[in-house]
Amino acid sequence: MSSQLGNKFKVNIFGESHGKCIGVVIEGIPAGFEIDLDKLNLFMQKRKGKKNISTARNESDEVNIVSGFFNAKATGTPLTAIIKNSDVKSKDYEQLKNIFRPSHADYTGYVKYNGFNDYRGGGHFSGRLTAPLCVAGNIAMQILKKNYCIEIFSHIINIGCLDMGEKSFYSATYEEIKSINNKSLAFIDENAMNIAIEEIEKVKKNGDSVGGVIETGIFGIKTGIGEPIFDTIEGNIAKAIFAVPAVKGIDFGAGFSAGYMKGSEYNDRLNYVNDDEKNLKIETKTNHDGGINGGISNGMPIIFNTAVKPTPSIYIPQETINISTGKNTTLQIKGRHDPAIVTRAVYPVMSAAAIALLDLIL
């Protein structure tokens, strides 16, 4: 099973949803880098979401670093961090040993691993594994900010098909963007957040779920990061983002809207923004390319959208199969599940982007 990402900043995730623990091994943290554990723990708490619109599973998500960390600094050797699983209810998943949940990895995991996969809570395919991803991602974000003055922000721009009125990074000020860090959910606009909560509570009451879209911005990146052809910024970020369960799409800049535009509408005009001949700065007047040309950063913010599907575990009866009887059946899922994964996926998406970007920079 391949659960490793990166060449210079390597991240290897291990564990299962209902196992004793989950964790991550990280290689490539610069020796002597001071990891802010308070920032790391705050980030982990944000990933947990809000109780009324998230799963009832209550894990502390306390990060225990067991190697590669001494006197508050990285030693330069592999850093290993574990997170204990304590609030598990494995009995809820007994029926899923042979009856597969629609749109989950139950069926594919069963075939891939000849029926030996851990099906409890989704096992290694569970969203629970985004917790160690966030450990590595937040450390990467700390390195990016301190060593390279790069910051990453994500927020929810829509829930389902609702028009919530949430500002895009293209129209928001940088102060508004930074304000996301102070919100209980990742929104710029308070009214948009309230609309989203109301919608999620409604689908939860109906036993259903809803998807959404996350907008991510990478700010402060210099021109020249990335490689053409196979090691593009888009390719590396996309590969990392698809490690987040429930992600089904990603687009950069204007994305699929570019297919409906003329070149005269789309092209980002280059522009000098000051008169200091010794320190000329180049920007583009628009940012339809999302800060990337030829797979390489052009100095503008890298902006992309991530589509997150509705939680497949819903309480409405669904058609499926029973692998032990070879017959069709109906499944009504039990257990504790998020009515909207997107509210918590914000932080794994940021983490994946940070890991991919830092790996390219190194």
- Binding-site members for NADP(+) are 47
| Alpha-carbon separation of residue 111 from 4, 93, 128, 320 (angstroms) | 21, 18, 22, 16
Give the helix, strand, coil percentages of the chain, each rounded to 5.
35, 20, 45
Angle 304-307-310 from CA coordinates, rounded to 5°: 160
Q: Which residues participate in the annotated binding site?
A: 47, 124-126, 294, 309-313, 336
Q: Nearest CA to 331 among 97, 109, 120, 18? A: 97
Spatial contact of 44 and 191, defined as CB atoms under 8 Å apart: no
Q: How many angstroms separate the CA atoms of 12 and 204, rounded?
A: 34
Q: How many angstroms separate the CA atoms of 64 and 359, rounded?
A: 24
Q: Nearest CA to 225 among 71, 33, 356? A: 356
Helix axes 37-47, 342-361, angle to 10 degrees: 140
In the chain, DSSP finds a helix count (H) and a strand count (E) of 8, 17
Q: Which residues participate in the annotated binding site for FMN?
A: 124-126, 294, 309-313, 336
